[in-house]
Structures are given as C-alpha cells and as structure tokens.
Amino acid sequence: MSKLELRERFASIQRESERRNEEKNKESIPTIFIVMSTCGLASGATETKQAFEEALSEKSIKARIVPVGCLGHCYAEPLVIIDHPTAGFPPICYYQINADRARILVRSYLEGGDPVLKYVLGAMEENDLIPAVMDFPRFSLEQRLVMEHCGHIDPNDIYQYVAKGGYSGLVKALEAEPEEVIDLVEKSGLRGRGGAGFPTGRKWRIARATEIDDKFVICNGDEGDPGAYMDRTILESNPHQLLEGLAICAYAVGANRSIAYVRAEYPLAVKALQKAIKSAEELSLLGPSILGTSFNFEVSVFQGSGAFVCGEETALIQSIEGKRGMPQHRPPFPVEKGLWGRPTVVNNVKTLSSVPSIILRGPEWFRTIGTEHSPGTAIFSVVGNVKHPGLVEIAMGTSLRTLIFDVCGGIPKKKEFKAVQIGGPSGGCLPSSFLDTPIDFDSLTQAGAMMGSGGMVVMDEDSCMVDVSRYFLDFTQKESCGKCTFCRIGTNHLLNILDRITKGEGREKDLELLETLSKDIKDGSLCGLGKTAPNPVLTSLKYFREEYEAHINEKRCPALKCRTLIAYYIDLEKCARGCEVCVGCCPVDAIFTTKGRKKAIDQELCVKCGECRSVCPPEYDAVFKVSPPELAPIIERPPEEKKESKKSAV
Amino acid sequence: MALYNDGVGMAPSDLDHEEWEMIQDIKVLLPGFEKHRGNLIPILQSIQEKHSYLASTAMEMVATHLSITPSEVFGVATFYNQFRFHPPGKHQIKVCLGTACHVAGGDIILENFERKLGIKDGETTPDREYSVERVACVGCCALAPVAVVDENVQGHMQPSKVEGLFVQFQIEREREEREKAEREASE
Ligand SMILES: Cc1cc2nc3c(=O)[nH]c(=O)nc-3n(C[C@H](O)[C@H](O)[C@H](O)COP(=O)(O)O)c2cc1C
Ligand code: SF4
Ligand code: SF4
Ligand code: FES
Ligand code: FES
C-alpha cells in the first residue's frame, strides 16, 4: 500500500473531525466545559454538572455541556469554562463552582449576560474586558507539551483529539522506516520520565535489534508514589495521546502487542483508556492493519493491584504474568527478555505521551525546550504548603524557586519555606539553600534528591523533617517485596530508629547508625526500591541534622509536630471566662473547668489532636503548643471532674 | 484439599449466604477466562469487584480452574494491597495517608475514626456496620487531609468533622429503624 493511500485514509478521518466541529459551531449556543477528572469529581463536579443541567432546563436555555479532563489547577476545582459566543466576552474560566454558583452562573451570565466577575479566574483569550489567565504566572511560566490539550478536549471523543492534530504523528511515523523513527527519538534526547531518565531512543534501538519477532511494549502507569498523580491525570484527560505514542513505539521497535498497566485505584483512568482503545480501533488507528498498512497493533489494559514495587519494570512484568510482583535480576533487561520471555520495551506514560509531538514537530523543536542533557518538560504534582497546589508542567531547567514561589504562589499563611521533598519515597528533602537548583535529571540527583516519580511536597516551618523521613520509611518498609534481606530488615530497622527518635527515645549513636545502615541497604538491595529507600533519611540528615539532634539530645521537636514530644496547654490569662468552645470539640473530653471558670487540659487524657487550638476564637488565642511537653504548666484536674480515659476504650 | 471445592453439593444453608452467592457467581464467571496463568489477577479482581472481598473458597475455585495450587493463588493475592479477605463494613471509611495528607495531619484523623469505632485500620466493626482503612493519595491533595466515606470525598477533615459524620450516620440509622417499625406496625 502506498503512502498516498495512507494519507488519504487519515485525511478522511480529519475531514470528519472538521465536519463535526463546524456543525457544533453553526449553532451559536453557549458551551460549558466542566472538569470531570478525579480531582474535579472529588471536589463536587458531579453536583455542579447536575446543577447546570437543572438550571438550564428550568430556564429553557440551550447550551452544550462538555465534560473535560484536568487542567491541573487542583486549588480551583470544580473548575468550569464557559464559552458564550453571543455575550460579547471571550471564553471565561471560573473557579470553585459548586452547585449554587452553577445556578447563579446560568441565571446571571447565560440568561442575564453578566459574567459574575467574583467567580472568574480569568479569560481564556486576550481581551480588553477581563484579565486573561495567560498573564498569570501559573499559566505563563508553565510550558505545556504533554499536557497541552488536557482540560481542553473531551477525552472520550477521539475526533476532538484529531482536531488538535492528534494521530498525525503516527501517520508520519508510518510513512517512515522504523529506524528513521528511532533516529528522531534518539536525536530529540528524550529521557524516560519514569524516574531514572534512561534515553528512550537507545532503549528502542536495543529492542529493535533483537532477533525475536514477537515483542511487547508496555506503558507503565503504575504510579505508586503516595503523593503523585500526574500519570493518572494524563490518562484521564488525554488517553489518545498516550495510545498514539504507544503505537509509534511499537511500530519503531517492531512489536504488535502492548499492555497498558494502570493501577486499579484509578478506575476513571482505566475507563477512559478502554474507551479510547475502542474508538481508535473503530477508526483503524489501532488494531489489525492500521489505516490499511501492514502494521498490526493491539493494546489491552492490565489493572495493577497496588504494590509500589510493581512500578519497577521487572516486578511489573511478573505481576502481568500472574505472579507475586518481585523484581528480578537484570541483565537480562526486559528489552532483551521481558514479558513471557519476549523482548519488551517498558516506558512511562509521560515518556510515551511526549513522543507524538516529537515525531510531528521534529527533534530540533523538542530540543529548544529544556536543557541540553534534559530536553523537554517536567511534570510535577506540587502539593503541601503552597497556595496553588496542582499539576505543573515546566521546561526542564526551571529553578525550584520559580516553580514553588512563582508558579505555585509560594507558602500560604505568611509561613516560612522550610523544605521541598522531591521524588517521593525514593527522593530527598532539599532546604532553602537549594531553591535555585535547576530542575533536571542530573542537578536533582546531584543535590541528593531525584526526579523520581514527580511527586513534590512543599513544607513550611511546621513540618518536622524527622517525621517526614519516618513517614517515607514507614511506606517503603511496608512496600518492600521482601526478597532482599537488607531491604526487608534494613528498612524496618531504619523505621524503628526513626520511630524512637520521634518519640524522644533516640540514643546518642542513632545518627551514625542511620547512616551506616542506609549505606548497607543501598549496597545490599537488588532493585531501585531498596537502593533509594534511605534517600529521605540521608538527605534530611545532611541538611537538617540539628533537627534530629534536638529530638535526641533535648527530647524536643523544633517544628512542634512529633506528638510524643509536644503538649498543649491553655493560658489562663488569655482564656475567656465562661467560654466553652473547646470543651465540646475535644474528642476525649480532656478539657475541664478550673478556677475562675477558665479551662485547662488534662494532660493524662489529651491525645494531642490540636482541635482545641484550632477552634479557640482568634480574639482569645489561648491554646498553646510547646516542646518538650514539660514546658506546659501542670494544672490538676479536680477529682469530681476526673473522667474515665477514652484513650484505651474499645 | 478443599472441603467445598466448587460449592457443588452444598446446601446454601451450610455456607454463609454471601459466600454461597459468591460461589454461584464464580461458577458463571470462570468459564469466561482462558485457563492461562496471566488471567489469575484479572479473575481475582473481577471477583472482588463484585463481592468486595475474596473468600478462601473462591480462591480455591480459581486455583482449580487454572490448575495451580490454592497456596499459590493465596500467595499472589496476599502480595497485593488491593485484595481483601474479609467482608468490609456497610459503611467504608478510607482515610488518606498520602504525602500531602500526612503533612496535614491525616494520622490524627485516622486515629479519631479508630478511637470512635474501637477498631484499627484494616478492621471491620463486629456488627459489620463500619470498616476503616488507610489509603494512599486519593487525588485531591488540595483538600488535605481527606477521608473518603462511602465514596464521598470529605476534604479538610478535622476531629470534629469525624464526630459530625457519626452523628449523621446515627440520625440516618434511627430514621431507618423508625421507618421499619412503622412499616411493621402498619402490616
Ligand atoms: C521501586 C520502583 C518503582 C517504580 N515506579 C515506577 C512508576 O510508578 N512508574 C514508572 O513509569 N516507572 C517506575 N519505575 C521505573 C521503572 O522501573 C522503569 O524504569 C520505567 O518504567 C521505564 O520507563 P521510562 O524509561 O519511560 O522512564 C520504578 C522503579 C522502581 C525501582
Ligand atoms: S530492594 Fe526491596 S523491594 Fe527491591 S527487590 Fe529487594 S526486597 Fe524487594
Ligand atoms: S476555646 Fe479558647 S477561650 Fe474558649 S475555653 Fe477554650 S481555651 Fe478558653
Ligand atoms: S486538645 Fe487535648 S485532645 Fe484535643
Ligand atoms: S495525599 Fe491525600 S489526597 Fe493526596
């Protein structure tokens, strides 16, 4: 079959996509885009959509409702974009639109023509009336390549992706020889976004070169970091881009079968992907003899069962084979001998999703973004103590400072920045002296953190670094597959030491012990889980050593976080006579009335939840937190006030 | 080996009714899966999806179907966090302990649920009304700390909100009981 025929078949799909677009535009009725990915739904997008539908039908207003994927602005969910072509305004983006606000928007804007400025985040186009979102740092400093269309198209409608140029990269690849495709990817300098940053083109070339014909490609969407959700969002918001990348990869390496491995905890992503596969097959963009060529390619979805270690490629393969997900010795690498013994390329969701635009726009274009050794963009889920948490895609080489303070708005509540944790359980904590570090594979590794999963947690002065290390070790210790003794027992030992430090039972030699043990675990573990598990401990020991020392030597938690080392008390001078606010809120009835009808805390009963401190009216602000706990004044509870402890009640 | 290998010949009363239903279901489900080791996890997933947990009889039936030992099935199932071996409570409470929620004090929220119900994470109350479990990021870190109660995401959790949820459950239960009593009285 000729290239001409291939082009013609694809052109007819493009024409159909255009026709559908025109048909929609003919009717100039308003369009309401509602973000319906996991984050939107969690914030109440279903109720918002229902409220729009009801309000529209009550008022008999004609409008289209289009569910779209995520724009990455988690702080603004439920997020809605209204395009009201006859109102004289550009499309407007609204934030935190709950059901009530949805009704107001229908009444005021769609019916009355008033765009309700107080709910507006910004206009989607430059104009003279409403500030455009593109002028906000959150938008202008981002560079969207992988997430370019996320939130702008309906992920369930393949024609919307085609209208954005989708699947043209695949067509271009099919017109070329597989080796030429690999050349393009290699020239682009694309490195794997799954954490380690292995050059994608090189991986593909090795797979291509193997003699065996029956090969596999696997999309790694396991995303096990407990604080990361980029891959989920991409799968939910633009699954076709991933499928296109997957097909290009398969064509290049000579594979006909593929498995998209997505965790079962991501039901929406699984559904979106399954639907996308079906619609691509219907248009012959996947399946047997794609667009009439001799290239056959089938994709199936495998649901991962929730084990962090299964993100590791050999463990992932074990689990597809129906076994316990234990990592295997490499070599042989999966590209030589992988799933069912066949050569297998494993690539991350973001890696594969970067491929279509590289093929379409060329490797030179890709290299204009990012740095020399880390071209392209990086995607992070930035959470924790920042004003505007969410998904952010920035050019590699952007500094941490720009990302945290400009793109994400900095630290809320006038608190101080303390540290940023990058790379999840495998990564590390960096202090403020590293804020000017450029974000790329090599600089982060050099600093002791790691690109890793792309999870980023920003922490203010109230976070305790020992506690954060303990948190990650608790996670890796549970998730160790148990194959290597050092990983299994070593992480457990690390956790025990960190546990006792946070409880004020740390010993003088503990810090040394943490360091030697960490080294042993790194050396004695087979896979990346064990090799990187000590990173959170090592980096925080390096940059926040005095905090560990305070816990051990002074039995004090400087951040007032570790609960054994703190106490709450009520300042009798400040407590308002007769006020009862905190009494009812204490879950263990620890608060009693003392002289002068003021309140005091029974330290025996207090579980240090901090609820009393958060409910005490700001004009009194009478509840204080101190460390070590001995600093709290002791006020005896009168015997008739004594209550039975609920602490141990079952 | 298995006492009730495939549930054949067992009167429903001999088994817990739920388990009996599960077995009937699996009998229908298994022939749809090729006898291929790679189908092990998908089979277990589809059983759990429908019945919320895996009874040991169920795993024995799967083993027979795939011609592997029950202990192999059990070994695989216990490796993965997804699989449950006891029926969950009527109300499922999931407390997020993802990184963002941890930093925001998610452990305090979990502790409040545990204390209130007198069970630990991963357990179900004896009356099978409630179960509590910890989960990793549920994807709305901006609302941290987060709990998912019966599929509804509750953001910005506080100990007092935990109390509030139980008051709601209590009101609901009392209403149900009242309605039931009224129905019975009218019959
Ligand atoms: C413990 C562990 C967990 C991992 N988790 C993931 C993951 O969730 N997603 C991912 O793409 N890669 C993960 N990886 C990396 C994979 O082994 C593999 O390198 C990657 O999928 C290759 O794709 P890439 O070249 O596109 O980065 C993990 C590795 C280790 C050691
Ligand atoms: S390092 Fe840990 S998780 Fe990795 S194989 Fe060894 S025991 Fe398993
Ligand atoms: S809420 Fe504050 S002011 Fe009121 S009783 Fe408690 S400590 Fe005193
Ligand atoms: S203040 Fe003591 S338990 Fe909340
Ligand atoms: S960490 Fe709890 S929702 Fe993300």
> What separation in Å is there between the alpha carbon of A206 and the centre of ligand 2?
26
Whether B60 and B111 map to the same domain: the answer is no
**Ligand nearest the Cα atom of residue A529:** 1
How many interface pairs between A and B have CB atoms less than 8 angstroms apart? 138
A483/chain B closest Cα distance in angstroms: 12
**Could you give the CA distance from residue A209 to residue A584 in angstroms, rounded to a whole number?**
71
B12/chain A closest Cα distance in angstroms: 31
**Could you give the CA distance from residue A200 to residue A206 in angstroms, rounded to a whole number?**
10
Could you tell me if residue B177 is inside a domain? no
| The pLDDT of residue A182 | 98
DSSP A55: H
Comparing alpha-carbon positions, the chain A residue that sits nearest to B144 is A384
- Dihedrals phi, psi of B9, to nearest 5 degrees: 80, 5
CATH number at residue B57: 1.10.10.1590
- From the candidates A386, A609, A615, A625, which should be mutated to test the interface with B, based on the most B CB atoms within 10 A? A609
**What does the radius of gyration of chain B's CA atoms come to, in whole angstroms?**
20
Q: What is the CATH number of domain A466-553?
A: 1.20.1440.230
Please report the sign of the dihedral spanned by the C-alpha atoms of residue A180, residue A186, residue A188, residue A191: positive
For residue A137, how far is the Cα from the chain centroid?
A: 20
pLDDT of B181 above 70: yes
Residue with tokens 């609901």: B172
| The pLDDT of residue B141 | 83
Count of Cβ atoms closer than 10 Å to residue A492 Cβ: 16
Say if CB A534 and CB A504 are below 8 A apart. Answer: no
Beta-sheet pairing, A591-594 with A598-601? antiparallel
- So what CATH class is A566-649? alpha beta
For residue A491, how far is the Cα from the chain centroid?
A: 25
Interface contact flag, B140 A77, Cβ < 8 Å: yes
**Does A38 touch chain B if contact means CB atoms closer than 8 Å?**
yes
Q: What is the CATH number of domain A377-463?
A: 3.10.20.600
Whether B47 and B99 map to the same domain: the answer is no
Q: Which of these, A136, A140, A139, A92, lies nearest to A118 by C-alpha position? A: A92
**Could you give the CA distance from residue B4 to residue B52 in angstroms, rounded to a whole number?**
21
Preceding amide of B12 cis, omega within 30: no
Whether B57 and B114 map to the same domain: the answer is no
Query: Of B23, B48, B79, at which residue does a domain stop?
Result: B79
DSSP A74: G
| The pLDDT of residue B15 | 52
B78/chain A closest Cα distance in angstroms: 9
Number of structural domains in chain B: 2
pLDDT of B10 above 60: no
Residues of A numbered 210-239 whose beta carbons fall under 8 angstroms of chain B's beta carbons: which are they?
224-229, 232
| DSSP bridge partners of B71 | none
Q: What is the CATH number of domain A20-140?
A: 3.40.30.10
**Does A206 touch chain B if contact means CB atoms closer than 8 Å?**
no
Interface contact flag, B141 A74, Cβ < 8 Å: yes
pLDDT of B5 above 60: no
Residue of A146, A348, A354 best suited for mutating to test ligand 1, as the one with most atoms within 8 Å of CB = A348
Distances in whole angstroms, Cα of residue B72 to Cα of each of A306, B26, B40, B46, B57: 19, 18, 10, 18, 14
**Could you give the CA distance from residue A604 to residue A245 in angstroms, rounded to a whole number?**
60
**Could you give the CA distance from residue B55 to residue A601 in angstroms, rounded to a whole number?**
47
Say if CB A434 and CB A400 are below 8 A apart. Answer: yes
pLDDT of A12 above 90: yes
**What does the radius of gyration of chain A's CA atoms come to, in whole angstroms?**
28
**Could you give the CA distance from residue A606 to residue A608 in angstroms, rounded to a whole number?**
5
Share of chain B above pLDDT 90, in %: 61
A106/chain B closest Cα distance in angstroms: 26
Return the higher-pLDDT residue of B166 and B18.
B166
| The pLDDT of residue A26 | 84
What is the residue range of B129's domain? 91-169
Average pLDDT, integer, range A347-373: 97
Q: Which of these, A169, A159, A442, A126, lies nearest to A276 by C-alpha position? A: A159
Say if CB A587 and CB A611 are below 8 A apart. Answer: yes
Could you tell me if residue B180 is inside a domain? no
Beta-sheet pairing, A623-626 with A344-348? unpaired
Which stretches of A312-369 are assigned E, i.e. beta strand? 344-348
Interface contact flag, A226 B141, Cβ < 8 Å: no
Whether B95 and B165 map to the same domain: the answer is yes
- Chain B residue set in contact with A, beta carbons under 8 Å: 37-42, 45, 75-76, 79-83, 97-100, 102-103, 105, 108, 111-112, 115-116, 118, 135-144, 146, 153, 155, 158-160, 162-163
**Does A583 touch chain B if contact means CB atoms closer than 8 Å?**
no
Q: What number of residues does chain A have?
A: 650
Interface contact flag, A457 B100, Cβ < 8 Å: yes
Beta-sheet pairing, A455-460 with A417-422? antiparallel
Distances in whole angstroms, Cα of residue A575 to Cα of each of A151, A585, A616: 50, 16, 9
Interface contact flag, B142 A389, Cβ < 8 Å: yes
Q: CATH 3.30.70.20: which residues of chain A? A: 566-649
Please report the sign of the dihedral spanned by the C-alpha atoms of residue A157, residue A159, residue A165, residue A169: positive
> What separation in Å is there between the alpha carbon of B8 and the centre of ligand 4?
56
Count of Cβ atoms closer than 10 Å to residue B166 Cβ: 15
| DSSP bridge partners of A430 | A420
| The pLDDT of residue A265 | 86
pLDDT of B62 above 80: yes
**Could you give the CA distance from residue A497 to residue B19 in angstroms, rounded to a whole number?**
44
pLDDT of A9 above 50: yes
| The pLDDT of residue A470 | 97
pLDDT tens figures, A569-625: 999 999 999 899 999 899 999 999 998 889 999 999 999 999 999 999 999 999 999
**Ligand nearest the Cα atom of residue A311:** 1
For residue A639, how far is the Cα from the chain centroid?
A: 52
- From the candidates A46, A271, A302, A305, which should be mutated to test the interface with B, based on the most B CB atoms within 10 A? A305
**Could you give the CA distance from residue A453 to residue A444 in angstroms, rounded to a whole number?**
13
Interface contact flag, A306 B82, Cβ < 8 Å: yes
How does residue A648 score in pLDDT terms, banded at 50, 70 and 90?
Answer: very low
Average pLDDT, integer, range A61-80: 93
Distances in whole angstroms, Cα of residue B92 to Cα of each of A18, A601, B81, B135, B143: 47, 33, 16, 12, 20
Report the residue from A305, A455, A588 with minimal CB separation from B99: A455
Angle at B69 between CA B63 and CA B71, to 5 degrees: 100
DSSP B89: P
Atom of ligand 2 nearest to the CA of A531: 1
pLDDT of B151 above 90: no
Distances in whole angstroms, Cα of residue B45 to Cα of each of A265, A356, B82, B84, B187: 12, 33, 8, 10, 43
Q: Which of these, A401, A479, A400, lies nearest to A443 by C-alpha position? A: A400
- Dihedrals phi, psi of A138, to nearest 5 degrees: -60, -30
Report the residue from B79, B118, B138 with minimal CB separation from A324: B79
Return the higher-pLDDT residue of B8 and A198.
A198
Report the residue from B105, B142, B153 with minimal CB separation from A390: B142
> What separation in Å is there between the alpha carbon of A348 and the centre of ligand 1?
7
Interface contact flag, A385 B103, Cβ < 8 Å: yes
The token pair at A203 is: 């991986």
Q: What number of residues does chain B have?
A: 187
> What separation in Å is there between the alpha carbon of A599 and the centre of ligand 3?
7
Contacts 24+ apart (CB under 8 A), A17-20: A17/A159, A17/A160, A17/A162, A17/A163, A18/A163, A20/A159
**Could you give the CA distance from residue A619 to residue A627 in angstroms, rounded to a whole number?**
24
Which superfamily does CATH assign the domain made up of A166-367 to?
Answer: NADH-ubiquinone oxidoreductase 51kDa subunit (3.40.50.11540)
Which stretches of A290-376 are assigned E, i.e. beta strand? 298-304, 344-348
Q: Which residues surround ligand 4 with Cβ inside 6 Å?
A: A 568, 586, 588, 590, 601, 606-607, 609, 611-612
For A419, the 3-state DSSP assignment is strand
| The pLDDT of residue A640 | 66
How does residue B4 score in pLDDT terms, banded at 50, 70 and 90?
Answer: very low
Q: CATH 3.40.30.10: which residues of chain A? A: 20-140
Say if CB A464 and CB A559 are below 8 A apart. Answer: yes
Closest CA to ligand 1's atom 30: A312
**ipTM for the predicted complex:** 0.89
Residue of A560, A568, A569 best suited for mutating to test ligand 4, as the one with most atoms within 8 Å of CB = A568
B159/chain A closest Cα distance in angstroms: 7
- Dihedral over alpha carbons A358, A360, A365, A371 (to 10 degrees): -10
| DSSP bridge partners of A438 | A399
Report the residue from A42, A321, A610 with minimal CB separation from B140: A42
pLDDT tens figures, B87-103: 899 999 999 999 999 99
pLDDT tens figures, A119-162: 999 999 999 999 999 888 888 999 999 999 999 999 999 999 99
| The pLDDT of residue A642 | 55
Q: Which of these, A165, A156, A152, A151, lies nearest to A277 by C-alpha position? A: A156
**Does A421 touch chain B if contact means CB atoms closer than 8 Å?**
yes
B72/chain A closest Cα distance in angstroms: 9
**Does A609 touch chain B if contact means CB atoms closer than 8 Å?**
yes
- From the candidates B99, B143, B166, which should be mutated to test the interface with A, based on the most A CB atoms within 10 A? B99
pLDDT tens figures, A330-348: 999 999 999 999 999 999 9
Residue of A190, A230, A313, A330 best suited for mutating to test ligand 1, as the one with most atoms within 8 Å of CB = A313
How does residue B12 score in pLDDT terms, banded at 50, 70 and 90?
Answer: very low
Mean pLDDT over each residue of chain A, to the nearest integer: 94
Distances in whole angstroms, Cα of residue A451 to Cα of each of A76, A194, A543: 26, 9, 18
Return the higher-pLDDT residue of A648 and A560.
A560
Whether B95 and B163 map to the same domain: the answer is yes
CATH number at residue B144: 3.40.30.10
DSSP A297: B
> What separation in Å is there between the alpha carbon of A594 and the centre of ligand 3?
12
pLDDT tens figures, A460-517: 999 999 999 999 999 999 999 999 999 999 999 999 999 999 999 999 999 999 999 9
Share of chain A above pLDDT 90, in %: 86
Q: CATH 1.20.1440.230: which residues of chain A? A: 466-553
Could you tell me if residue B121 is inside a domain? yes
